[in-house]
């Protein structure tokens, strides 16, 4: 077990390194001279030269990369071109809200599993059809539109919530519903098919034949085995929640990482964009890592391979 | 297509048609999509106005017999704009996924056929790309290339390619050792002939299903990017851009129609693509 985790951790570090290299080249891939971009159109040649040296862009590429990595490991991500503050400070301000939104949005996991199980245990009957209609709609609905409609119904018309901004946790209700919708739909669909697969297995027949209670067959024997593929999808969906929060934060005027990313891309604040892409990537890779480890806890067969 | 269970009198394609006829919902979705495409194509013949014809005497009119879904702040007929918007959204959807599918399937077949280091590199690269939600990748690519509808198409094509590569590779691998490929090799067929005449047709069904669903996702992604100000810019009637301008009225009660209909169009398109894709999969791969 520890060996497997160590192996996976090495792989994860490898992927992180690739991502760091890509992020490093991000500034170099921008069309035109990055120094010209950063310094602005009216900078003199002298000013540009000073900036170039300050950014280390006059050094050979491998030394630049070395500097980039050293700074990265010291959490020095440069300064924002717009506010002039350290990128680290800008991010840490915004991080908490996105973390809260993500945590609150995790409601989609139990909701999706329950819907999927209900659909599978009522196969081809009304509840199954209803769950699947909800599921295929949930996958197709544009999140940003769904959020706008929720605002107009529940915040503007009924005035149950504030339309935008963040004062208290209650303000996260509509955003969390919006973000979790698609995850619920995907997980419901997946749980249903995983569950149906398991229900046709011999050991379920055996359990039923032995006279095990219906509830126990469904929730102890079947669900545990069906959870294996579901866990992978949950991991992926948490990643999608993070990216979904980008649009949703913008609609609901929540000052989190997602809205910061959009503002920075539009304002061409490259150091912030670069750091945010790194930060998001780091989260996705870590989620995948945790999912893999969880997987081995539940399914010992994976470890042996 | 290498199905061996078919009776000799029925071709695989006929078998597919027979199965597909049972997918009523998918057929309905396909017809809806077709109507949307035709309306977008023949928009100037069907509509009396252009998408940017303004009428300051009729601003912000709610839906009525003259303006089916109302007018916007410049008095432009929203229905007209929605139909013209379909041109932009569907073009982006189809074009970007077509590019992604062509590039991806080519790489996938090559990786399967050549194997070795090329295969490893392609698949590891695809693994890394898969770790990320496609929307974030699209934003990253637009951050590098800059905004605009062309760059959105490129971005979507880039992040669609790896999935097509993976699908094509796995179905190519499954026929690589089959008798007809070996026979072709023995008879001295060139590499490109084996890859594109013998292997490619057996990968088409997987590509087709994924293509259909991906068009929906791509319409959705393009609309999201336009909504955020990174794709189509006003006065383009692109659906996402229309939603973005409807945000000015979000806090005012009574203007929901501005938001409702562009979103419904996106929703309907994506829904049809998903349902059609599902039906195609059931018909092509009955398991």
CA pair distance B95, A218, nearest whole angstrom: 46
The beta-carbon neighbor of A149 closest among B146, B223, B263 is B263
Cβ of A281 within 8 Å of Cβ of B131? The answer is yes
pLDDT for A210: 87
In a domain, B174, yes or no: yes
Q: Bin B67: left if φ > 0, else alpha if -120 < ψ < 50, else beta.
A: beta
Cβ neighbors of A289 (< 8 A, separation 6 or more) are A8, A9, A12
pLDDT for B74: 81
* Count of domains for chain B: 1
pLDDT for A184: 93
How close, in Å, is residue B132 to chain A by CA atoms? 7
pLDDT at A132 over 60: yes
Cβ of A140 within 8 Å of Cβ of B274? The answer is yes
The beta-carbon neighbor of A277 closest among B140, B220, B247 is B140
Mean pLDDT computed over A238-246: 83
pLDDT at A43 over 60: yes
In a domain, B71, yes or no: no
Cβ of A145 within 8 Å of Cβ of B142? The answer is no
Q: Count of CB atoms within 10 A of residue A276's CB?
A: 29
Mean pLDDT computed over A70-85: 82
Cβ of A142 within 8 Å of Cβ of B146? The answer is no
In a domain, B65, yes or no: no
In a domain, B64, yes or no: no
Task: Please report residues of B whose CB lies closer than 8 A to that of A156.
Answer: 250-253
pLDDT at A115 over 90: yes
pLDDT at B157 over 90: yes
In a domain, B74, yes or no: no
Average of per-residue pLDDT values in chain A: 84
A305 touches chain B (CB under 8 A): no
Q: How confident is the model at residue B1 (pLDDT cuts 50, 70, 90)?
A: very low
How close, in Å, is residue B136 to chain A by CA atoms? 6
Q: Nearest to residue B237, comparing CAs of B124, B77, B1, B111? A: B77
Mean pLDDT computed over B54-63: 80
CB-based contact A203:A221 (threshold 8 Å): yes
pLDDT for B287: 53
In a domain, B172, yes or no: yes
Mean pLDDT computed over B226-250: 88
CB < 8 Å from B in window 79-108 of A: none
CB-based contact B172:B112 (threshold 8 Å): yes
CA pair distance A260, A90, nearest whole angstrom: 9
Mean pLDDT computed over A162-184: 87
> Which residues form the domain of B142?
12-59+88-284
DSSP letter string, B217-233: HHHHHHHHHHHTTSSS-
CB-based contact B222:B152 (threshold 8 Å): yes
In a 3-state reduction of DSSP, which class is residue B37?
Answer: helix
pLDDT at B270 over 50: yes
DSSP A79: B
pLDDT for B92: 93
Give the tens place of pLDDT for each residue, A272-288.
Answer: 888 898 888 888 888 88
**What is the percent of chain A where pLDDT is above 70?**
95
Task: Please report residues of B whose CB lies closer than 8 A to that of A152.
Answer: 250, 253, 256, 259
The beta-carbon neighbor of A265 closest among B142, B259, B266 is B142
Q: How confident is the model at residue B95 (pLDDT cuts 50, 70, 90)?
A: very high
Nearest CA in chain B to A278: B140
B63 touches chain A (CB under 8 A): no
Task: Please report residues of A whose CB lies closer than 8 A to that of B128.
Answer: 15, 18-19
pLDDT for B36: 94
CA pair distance B210, B29, nearest whole angstrom: 16
Average of per-residue pLDDT values in chain B: 86
pLDDT for B286: 58
Q: What are φ and ψ of residue A211, in 5° steps?
A: 95, 20
Q: Count of CB atoms within 10 A of residue A54's CB?
A: 11
The beta-carbon neighbor of B259 closest among A26, A141, A148 is A148
Mean pLDDT computed over A211-221: 82
Mean pLDDT computed over A100-121: 91
Task: Please report residues of B whose CB lies closer than 8 A to that of A139.
Answer: 270, 274
CATH number assigned to the domain comprising residue B145: 1.10.3720.10
pLDDT at B37 over 50: yes
| E-only strand ranges, chain A | none
In a domain, B55, yes or no: yes
pLDDT for A302: 63
Q: How far is CA A155 from CA A160, A248, B124, B261, in A?
A: 5, 15, 46, 20
Helix H or strand E segment including B277: helix B256-284
Full-model pTM: 0.86
pLDDT at B49 over 50: yes
Give the tens place of pLDDT for each residue, B159-177.
Answer: 889 889 988 998 888 888 8
CB-based contact A241:A180 (threshold 8 Å): yes
pLDDT for A6: 87
In a domain, B168, yes or no: yes
Nearest CA in chain B to A139: B271
């Amino acid at each position: 077990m520890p060996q497997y985790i160590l192996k996976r951790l090495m792989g994860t570090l490898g992927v992180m390194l690739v991502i760091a290299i890509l992020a490093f080249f991000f500034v170099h891939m921008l069309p035109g001279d990055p120094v010209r971009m950063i310094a602005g159109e009216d900078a003199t040649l002298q000013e540009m030269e000073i900036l170039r040296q300050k950014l280390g862009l006059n050094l050979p590429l491998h030394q630049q990369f070395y500097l980039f990595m050293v700074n990265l490991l010291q959490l020095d991500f440069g300064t924002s071109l717009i506010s002039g503050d350290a990128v680290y400070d800008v991010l840490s301000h915004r991080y908490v809200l996105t973390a809260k939104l993500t945590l609150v949005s995790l409601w989609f996991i139990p909701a999706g599993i329950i819907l999927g199980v209900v659909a599978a245990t009522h196969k081809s009957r009304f509840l199954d059809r209803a769950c699947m209609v909800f599921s295929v709609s949930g996958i197709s609905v544009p999140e940003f539109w769904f959020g706008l409609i929720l605002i107009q119904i529940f915040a503007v018309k009924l005035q149950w919530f504030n339309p935008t901004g963040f004062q208290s946790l209650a303000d996260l209700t509509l955003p969390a519903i919006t973000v979790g919708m698609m995850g619920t739909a995907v997980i419901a669909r997946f749980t249903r098919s995983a569950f149906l697969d398991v229900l046709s297995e011999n050991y379920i027949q055996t359990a039923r034949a032995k006279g095990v209670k219906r509830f126990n067959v469904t929730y102890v024997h079947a669900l545990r085995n069906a959870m294996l593929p579901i866990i992978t999808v949950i991991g992926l969906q948490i990643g999608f929640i993070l990216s979904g929060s980008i649009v949703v934060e913008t609609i609901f005027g929540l000052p989190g990482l997602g809205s910061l990313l959009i503002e920075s891309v539009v304002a061409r604040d490259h150091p912030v964009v670069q750091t945010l892409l790194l930060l998001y990537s780091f989260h996705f890779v870590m989620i995948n890592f945790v999912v893999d480890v969880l997987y081995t806890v539940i399914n010992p067969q994976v470890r042996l391979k | 297509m290498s199905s061996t269970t078919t009776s000799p009198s029925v071709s695989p394609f006929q078998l597919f048609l027979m199965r597909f006829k049972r997918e009523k919902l998918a057929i309905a979705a396909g017809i809806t999509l077709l109507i949307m495409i035709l309306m977008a194509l023949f928009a100037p013949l069907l509509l009396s106005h252009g998408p940017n014809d303004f009428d300051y005497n009729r601003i912000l009119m709610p839906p009525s017999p003259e303006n089916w879904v109302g007018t916007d702040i410049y008095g432009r007929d929203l229905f007209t704009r929605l139909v013209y918007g379909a041109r932009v959204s569907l073009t982006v959807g189809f074009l970007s996924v077509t590019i992604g599918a062509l590039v991806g399937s080519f790489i996938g077949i090559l990786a399967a056929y050549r194997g070795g280091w090329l295969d490893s590199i392609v698949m590891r690269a695809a693994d890394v790309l898969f770790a990320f939600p496609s929307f974030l990748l699209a934003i990253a690519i637009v951050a590098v290339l800059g905004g605009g509808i062309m760059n959105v198409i490129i971005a979507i094509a880039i992040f669609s390619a790896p999935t097509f590569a993976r699908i094509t590779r796995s179905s190519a691998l499954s026929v690589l050792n089959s008798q007809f490929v070996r026979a072709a090799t023995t008879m001295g067929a060139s590499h490109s002939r084996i890859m594109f005449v013998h292997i490619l047709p057996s990968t088409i069904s997987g590509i087709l299903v994924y293509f259909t669903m991906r068009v929906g996702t791509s319409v959705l992604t393009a609309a999201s990017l336009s909504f955020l100000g990174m794709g189509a810019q006003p006065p383009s009637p692109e659906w996402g851009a229309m939603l973005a301008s409807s945000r000015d009225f979000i806090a005012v009660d009574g203007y929901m129609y501005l938001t409702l209909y562009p979103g419904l169009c996106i929703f309907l398109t994506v829904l049809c693509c998903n349902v059609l894709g599902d039906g195609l999969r059931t018909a092509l791969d009955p398991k």
